[in-house]
Amino acid sequence: MEIYFILLLVLFIVIKFTFFRHKIVSEPEIIEEKEILRIPKREYFINVGSYCKVRYNYYLPSSFGNNQTKKLYTNIIVSNTWIEEPFHTVFTSILKFLEENDDCIKSESTSTIKIKIARINESANAYKVYSVKELIFMTLDEVYRQIRTEYNTKNIQIILLATLLFKINLLRSMSSVYNNINDINCADIFLDKFENSKKVLYVIKQIKQETEQFNFVNIIFQNSKKFATEFPYEDSHESQKNLLALSNYVPNIKKNLINSDEFFVS
């Protein structure tokens, strides 16, 4: 009788252990299925190992207007899986802002010519210019190449944001936001929700002061002019009218997110 009782007890324990074991294993799968149903079609989980599933969310390639912006986003964000917020959105917002609101600065290698513009009966200065966006993006690319093995992730991200913002005052339309325009004030617009904003502003200040640690950013920016495209430009009242007013600008990008495998830059 005791033997039967012991066997029944062992059988009960085995059944109970098996039941709870299956319950523990199956519960996360149910949760994952619910999460998958709630997310948009272009967001999904990726298998990592045998049991883990991780969701990597990236902006659609079509979110960017040209290959230069898309390449920077791919090489810096996608390659490093830097999707933590708010860095991901702040970085991408600045990229998009510079892409969509470009301006120009005069080339040092050009001479100024006085011209008469017949269509608007106005005199103007004609000379060659650089694209601010192109100079900053070329600088960002080279800065990233130089620092990616010298600093930890957080410091790399801070320096990259500072690089994107240290010449923001070259956009003349930013004067509609600040009368006494400077890089630090303008940067506040983009860094409003970034937890390390003070550190970014500190690095911007150090770059502007050409300190030994960060002067390499200035050097790279100046060197980028050797490879940047020179565009013809006329400095007339008509051209000034096309400058964008930024007083209502809010750094916000609609999130159309995809998996990294769909990112490709030709």
Domain contains 59: no
Residues 31 and 138 in one domain: no
Q: Is residue 123 part of a domain?
A: yes
Partners of 47 in the β-ladder: 53
**pLDDT > 70? residue 262:** no
Q: Is the pLDDT of residue 229 over 80?
A: yes
pLDDT in tens, 242-258: 555 555 555 566 666 77
> Considering 12, 31, 53, which residue would you say is the last residue of a domain?
53
Quickly list DSSP for 82-140.
---TTHHHHHHHHHHHHHHS--EEE-TT---EEEEEGGGTEEEEEEEEEEHHHHHHHHH
* 48 and 89 part of one domain: no
In a domain, 236, yes or no: yes
Per-residue pLDDT at 172? 77
Q: Is the peptide bond before 28 cis (omega within 30 degrees of 0)?
A: no
Question: Per-residue pLDDT tens for 102-125?
Answer: 888 888 887 777 776 666 667 777
My answer on whether 158 and 244 are in the same domain is: yes
- The mean pLDDT of 23-51, rounded to a whole number, is 35
Residue 37: per-residue pLDDT: 30
**Measured between alpha carbons, how far is 165 from 94 in angstroms, rounded to an integer?**
8
Lowest mean pLDDT among 53-67, 85-99, 148-162: 53-67
124 and 218 within one domain: yes
pLDDT for res 170: 87
Among residues 32, 53, 74, the one where a domain terminates is 53
**Count of domains observed in the chain:** 2
In angstroms, rounded to a whole number, what is the distance separating the alpha carbons of residues 157 and 148?
Answer: 10
- State the residue range of the domain holding 251: 65-262
